[in-house]
Amino acid sequence: MNDTNNIYEFLNEMDFDINDYEKQDLTDIEKKHLKNIIKNNLKNNKAKKYKIKQFGGIAAALVLTIGIFSQTSFGREVYASTQSMISEISYSIGRALGVERDVEIYSNVVNKVIEDKGVEVKLTDVIIDKDELIICTVVNTNRPVEGVRLDYNIFINGKKIRVWGGTGSCGKVDDSKTIFTQIDYIVVKDIDTKESLDIKIAFNELNYFTTQNDNIVEGKVKGKWIFEFTADGSELMKDTHVLPLDYSFQIANQTYSLEAFRYNPVNQKIEGSVEGEFKSFYQIDLRGYDNLGNEINFYLSRKSNEDLVFKYENFYKDFSDEITSITLTPYAAKLPEESGRMSNDYEQVGETFTIFLNK
């Protein structure tokens, strides 16, 4: 997946926690804080990863409220192609996840293309994991843009579900400026991983952006890209292991408790809870190494009053089947209130601990 300089990369570098908010709208102070972060990263051009680590109730609004301009002409463009450009594209969910091992046995293949308002959307695969729906899509915008983001509603067994948050990534396919692949880890509480589910994913809006004279110009296309299919997560559940943890550390007035390490060939997560009064945004990593000497990092994927999730970051390599233990130390960096400059001033905030895997 190619590196690109775009708003989603800058969001990735921010470890602010939108799930700490109960409301749906950003305050003026919050908008200013996030806007400063994006502007400073635009100037510094330091973003390297094309990964949206956190989004939730206010994230869609965030993308469309920070210095954004709408271009409605895009939605009126005529769809002239007589043959789908993405119907023949084979892009597996494993490749989109950046996983080298074969995870196709856990995926539910859809491979359906829908076109509306000149935009093609292909839903390729879906994986069901605990509290998470992982979906892979390919998008053809039919015009050059630098980044895209699809908004959606999800229905399971005929009932619209609440999306609690999630993570995701998006990138160009083979250096194309019109075709993108997007992977989303959607948080769905108490999703059934053992039974077959009737799922409907209704994509209703494409957000896109370009840059003109160093300014971000963003627009949207409203449409209907609706996919209905049946899926289950039973195969992945068979290969899932859960180890209890009893470890905690403190940052400011909050206590972070790590309660379980949950891992399978698709996902590796450290789950827990957080207590105490929220005052500031922090970037938090669990850094360390495995028994094979490989560097390991778990990033803060989700944080709310109810749960805390750190995810394994596979930029180094897959989580090896040969690992028997991992040793980690928590580090945190406070995000500045005003300047918006990303901080690399990480400090150790807890003792080193080791997790021994069941082998």
Reported as a single tens digit per residue, the pLDDT across 112-131 is 999 999 999 999 999 999 98
Query: Which architecture, in CATH terms, is 7-236?
Result: Sandwich (2.60)
Dihedral pair phi/psi, residue 177, rounded to 5°? -100, 0
Asked if 235 contacts 105 with a C-beta cutoff of 8 angstroms, the reply is yes
* pLDDT of 42 above 90: no
Q: What is the pLDDT of residues 317-333, one digit of tens each?
A: 789 889 999 999 999 99
Q: For the residues 184-211, what does the mean pLDDT come to?
A: 92
- Helix and strand numbers (H, E) in the chain are 5, 19
Q: pTM (2 decimals)?
A: 0.73
Distance CA 323, CA 233 (A): 24
Query: Which architecture, in CATH terms, is 240-356?
Result: Sandwich (2.60)
DSSP letter for 212, please. E
Q: What is the pLDDT of residues 120-169, one digit of tens each?
A: 999 999 999 998 999 999 999 999 999 999 999 999 999 999 887 777 77
7-236 and 240-356 in the same fold:
yes
Domain ranges of the chain: 7-236, 240-356
Indicate left, alpha or beta for 45 from its phi (over 0: left) and psi (-120 to 50: alpha).
left
Asked if 180 contacts 174 with a C-beta cutoff of 8 angstroms, the reply is no
- Number of Cβ within 10 Å of residue 235's Cβ equals 16
Distance CA 302, CA 271 (A): 9
